[in-house]
């Protein structure tokens, strides 16, 4: 039993589970007054529902997940929890669950981006059977795709239009965010993380599934969602 406990602690340390303390234990008993009154859970669930109903990014990803045979259910595949540090969310591959950090997400726009980012990981998990724990390249690829396609870098883009080439600045933003995400959840050196990101960057940066393009802003995402919804019409009319 002692060995099992040690292995569990090692797993938490190696794979970033320490950032999500409720993954292993909760301060409050499920359904207790402490949980219902003194956490951000209720607000988190409302913002999650708004994201699922209104965000073109999230709607496209939810549709693509369903088409791929991995329908996402709000109550089963999302969990609002208190997290450590400044982390906003995570994808727990062991349970196929998206963690939303209710103590660190306070605006709807932030919730939309976190839901989108984590849904890209979930889509990759469904589509590619990603080996999150053993294959570092798989993790790096999904982090690059999530940073590229979720709108994480769109605010930087608005400023960069005036100062730099949009393409170069966007790529630098994606690379930087992917690196930070990896270093937050894996005990590896920055050099090792940079090397793996460099190795897979080009192929993963140009993999835009299921968007078909990089959605630089909400308008782009709406067009991508419209294209996705209409994807079968050409064949239906033949």
Average pLDDT, the chain: 84
pLDDT of residue 3: 45
Pairing mode of beta strands 89-92, 78-81? unpaired
- Residue 231's pLDDT band, with cuts at 50, 70 and 90, is confident
- Residue 43's pLDDT band, with cuts at 50, 70 and 90, is very high
Q: Of residues 35, 81, 118, 194, which has the active-site annotation?
A: 118
Q: What is the distance in angstroms between the CA of the first residue and the CA of the last residue of the chain?
A: 63
- The yes-or-no verdict on residue 34 having pLDDT over 80 is no
**Burial class of residue 75 (count of CB atoms within 10 Å of its CB; 0-12, 13-18, 19+):** exposed
What dihedral do alpha carbons 82, 88, 94, 95 form, nearest 10°?
Answer: 60
Q: Which of 49-58, 59-68, 220-229 has the lowest mean pLDDT?
A: 220-229
Cβ-Cβ contacts under 8 Å for 142 (sequence gap 6 or more): 120, 121, 124, 130, 132, 204
**Helix boundaries (H) for 74-163:** 74-77, 108-128, 136-149, 154-163
Beta partners for residue 92, in sequence order: 97
- According to the 3-state scheme, what is the secondary structure of 122-138? HHHHHHHCCCCCCCHHH
Mean pLDDT of the 29-34 span: 52
118 assigned to active site: yes
Compute the distance between CA of residue 110 and CA of residue 90 in angstroms, rounded to an integer.
14
- The yes-or-no verdict on residue 8 having pLDDT over 90 is no
Using the CB atoms, write b or e for 34-69: b if 16+ within 10 Å. eeeeebbbeebbebbeebbeebbbbbbbbbbbeeee
Residue 158 and residue 106 in contact, taking contact as beta carbons nearer than 8 Å: no
Mean pLDDT of the 176-189 span: 93
- Residue 224's pLDDT band, with cuts at 50, 70 and 90, is confident
- The yes-or-no verdict on residue 90 having pLDDT over 90 is yes
Q: Helices 56-67 & 41-54, crossing angle to 10 degrees?
A: 80
The residue ranking higher by pLDDT, 125 or 2, is 125
pTM, entire model: 0.82
- Residue 110's pLDDT band, with cuts at 50, 70 and 90, is very high
């Amino acid at each position: 039993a002692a060995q099992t406990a040690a292995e569990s602690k090692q797993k938490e340390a190696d794979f970033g589970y320490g950032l999500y303390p409720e993954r292993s234990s909760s301060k409050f008993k499920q359904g207790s007054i402490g949980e219902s009154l003194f956490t951000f859970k209720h607000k988190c669930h409302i913002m999650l529902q708004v994201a699922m109903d209104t965000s073109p990014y999230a709607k496209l990803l939810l549709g693509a997940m369903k088409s791929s045979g991995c329908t996402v259910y709000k109550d089963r595949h999302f969990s609002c929890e208190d997290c450590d540090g400044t982390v906003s969310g995570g994808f727990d591959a062991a349970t196929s669950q998206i963690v939303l950090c209710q103590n660190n997400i306070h605006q709807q726009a932030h919730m939309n981006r976190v839901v989108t980012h984590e849904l890209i990981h979930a889509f990759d998990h469904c589509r590619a059977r990603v080996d999150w724990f053993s294959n570092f390249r798989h993790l790096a690829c999904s982090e690059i795709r999530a940073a590229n396609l979720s709108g994480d870098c769109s605010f930087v883009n608005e400023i960069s239009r005036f100062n730099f080439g949009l393409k170069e600045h966007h790529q630098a933003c994606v690379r930087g965010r992917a690196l930070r995400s990896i270093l937050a959840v894996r005990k590896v050196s920055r050099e090792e993380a940079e090397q793996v990101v460099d190795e897979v960057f080009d192929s993963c940066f140009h993999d835009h599934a299921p968007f078909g393009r990089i959605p630089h802003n909400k308008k782009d995402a709406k067009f991508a969602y419209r294209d996705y919804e209409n994807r079968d019409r050409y064949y239906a009319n033949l």
